[in-house]
Amino acid sequence: MAILPILETPDPVLRQISIPVETVTDELRTLIDDMFETMYAAPGIGLAAVQVGVPKRLLVIDLQEPEEEEGEPVRKPLVFINPEILEASDTLQPYLEGCLSVPEHYADVERPDRIRARWLDADGKAREEEITGMLAVVLQHEMDHLQGILFIDHLSRLKRDMILRKLAKARKEQPRKAA
Ligand code: ZN
């Protein structure tokens, strides 16, 4: 397994539309393992393949929700290949989102709070489920990546530009800090 570099906005690869996965090969399974390792190390709760420079319709999620008693996060790795949203609720729910490709910035995004989704799992098996709560939020965020969309695209132009300006400034200051 390997930790892969995560692309950050404004990298143009993040704006590509990812292509469907045709078959679940050993190569793809290795990529999935590497994506989990990369996501846990970041740390993050979701990662789309395009964020590590592979524009394929593949994403991994692990909410790592803390166990009630011990407070230790429980790992529950989920793999979504070629995911599709079949139905979405009319009711929207705001949620404070962040993204490994837009580091250290968070903003409320409104999305349907209930979706019915279809996808292939890591074994290439077709799955269909109704998904709610935080998993629905993260899945929709990651599926946006497959369309070249970032969560900041859901914000007002003013908010988005402010985040992009701060990111550009932070990037410019980084080498000076390191020197
Ligand atoms: Zn993201």
Distance of alpha carbon 109 from alpha carbon 88, whole angstroms: 16
- Number of domains, the chain: 1
Gap from CA of 141 to ligand 1 centroid (Å) = 6
Whether residue 79 lies inside any domain: the answer is yes
Whether residue 127 lies inside any domain: the answer is yes
pTM to 2 decimal places: 0.94
pLDDT of residue 6: 98
Whether residue 5 lies inside any domain: the answer is no
pLDDT > 60? residue 58: yes
Gap from CA of 47 to ligand 1 centroid (Å) = 7
pLDDT of residue 52: 98
Domain of residue 30 covers: 12-174
Gap from CA of 90 to ligand 1 centroid (Å) = 23
**Type of residue at 158:** L
Average pLDDT score over the chain: 95
What average pLDDT does range 135-159 have in this prediction?
98
What average pLDDT does range 89-97 have in this prediction?
97
Whether residue 92 lies inside any domain: the answer is yes
pLDDT > 60? residue 65: yes
- Which residues, by Cβ under 5 Å, contact ligand 1, an ion? 99
Q: Nearest CA to 140 among 83, 82, 62?
A: 83
Gap from CA of 76 to ligand 1 centroid (Å) = 19
Whether residue 166 lies inside any domain: the answer is yes
Longest dimension (CA), the chain: 52
Q: Nearest CA to 144 among 16, 29, 33?
A: 16
Whether residue 50 lies inside any domain: the answer is yes
Q: Which runs of consecutive H residues, i.e. helices, occur in the chain?
A: 26-41, 133-146, 157-178
70 catalytic? Reply is no
Which of 68, 72, 110, 142 is the catalytic position?
A: 142
Gap from CA of 97 to ligand 1 centroid (Å) = 9
Distance of alpha carbon 18 from alpha carbon 58, whole angstroms: 8
**Residue 116: CATH number of its domain:** 3.90.45.10
